[in-house]
Amino acid sequence: MTEILDLPGGVPRGPGGTGLAHGDAEGAGAPLPDLRMRPWVPTDTTELLAAFGDPAIRHYSKTVVDTAADASQFVRIRAQAWSERTGASWAITSDRGTVLGHVGIHVVDRALDSAIIGYWLLPRARGHGVAARAVRAGTTFAFRQLMLHRIELAHAVENAASCRVAERAGYLYEGTLRDAMRYTGERWSTEHLHARLVTDIDMATDA
Ligand SMILES: CC(C)(COP(=O)(O)OP(=O)(O)OC[C@H]1O[C@@H](n2cnc3c(N)ncnc32)[C@H](O)[C@@H]1OP(=O)(O)O)[C@@H](O)C(=O)NCCC(=O)NCCS
């Protein structure tokens, strides 16, 4: 069972992007036969505006994309993080290039080689195990290419689907953090903290 990130030289490919090896049991029954991951690009404005028009994505975001300028900033910040090796973010797409969602690694502390992973899917892509596959692929990339030791994943306690994504991607539950996040609307959120270490057995693929 494999999820292979094929990123020569550690550099995410351009449009057409990163292949997620597929055909394994994860996402069984998914009508999405293949997935790609590629960097966000300036021409993704429409997709980003559509994504942040979705109430669930807005509900669990710290910042939102409401204008073309916001979308440009979203792309610019992630391109800069990549060029500085302080992060890696991808648009998850179908094999036809339809944008399905986002997964991103934000390196928090280079002294500790630790980072945070985040993700969301457009409504059309939900319910087929796509997020867990993308999180696993991004995690593999981060351990191998960003040389991270620990990656944290936090989600609102009531977000059961996200909790399951964390488990499916091998992120162990470590505890509950009170008011550890403030989402849009200045809304405090109590969060489940999950994390994966580079030294962990790959629960996602070895289970
Ligand atoms: C959370 C999100 C990324 C999940 O993505 P997904 O790939 O569609 O996840 P799925 O629908 O395949 O569900 C994943 C698992 O959670 C389970 N699940 C889904 N909704 C659930 C619920 N309400 N209660 C319990 N389990 C649930 C599914 O059965 C599935 O379990 P399985 O892996 O054992 O089959 C997606 O729903 C989303 O983008 N939501 C809005 C934004 C968001 O919440 N982002 C994450 C912030 S941390």
Return the pLDDT at 204.
62
User: Is ligand 1 within 6 A of the CB of residue 136?
Assistant: no
Residue 58: the pLDDT is: 97
Whether 161 is in the pocket of ligand 1, judged by its Cβ within 6 Å, is: yes
Q: pLDDT at position 54, please?
A: 98
102 touches ligand 1 (CB under 6 Å): no
Say if ligand 1 is within 6 A of residue 126 CB: yes
Contact 185, 166 (CB under 8 A): no
User: Could you identify the atom of ligand 1 that is nearest to the CA of residue 120?
Assistant: 39
pLDDT of residue 201: 82
Torsion of CA 188, 124, 65, 116, to 10 degrees: 50
From 162, 181, 183, mutation site for ligand 1 pocket: most ligand atoms within 8 A of C-beta:
162
- Give the pLDDT score at 33: 55
CA atoms within 13 A on the CB side of 86: 10
| Structural domains in the chain plus CATH codes | 5-149 (3.40.630.30)
124 pocket-lining for ligand 1 (C-beta < 6 Å): no
Q: Can you give the pLDDT of all 207 residues of the chain as single tens digits? A: 223 333 323 333 333 344 333 222 233 333 445 899 999 999 999 999 999 999 999 999 999 999 999 999 999 999 999 999 899 999 999 999 999 999 999 988 999 999 999 999 999 999 999 999 999 999 999 999 999 999 999 999 999 999 999 999 999 999 999 999 999 989 999 999 999 999 998 766 544
Render 46-103 in DSSP notation, one character per residue.
HHHHHHTTSHHHHHT-SS---SHHHHHHHHHHHHHHHHTTSEEEEEEEETT--EEEEE
Q: Compute, in angstroms, the gap from residue 162 CA to the centroid of ligand 1.
A: 5
What's the 207 CA to ligand 1 centre distance in angstroms? 19
Report CA(192)–ligand 1 centroid distance (Å). Answer: 15
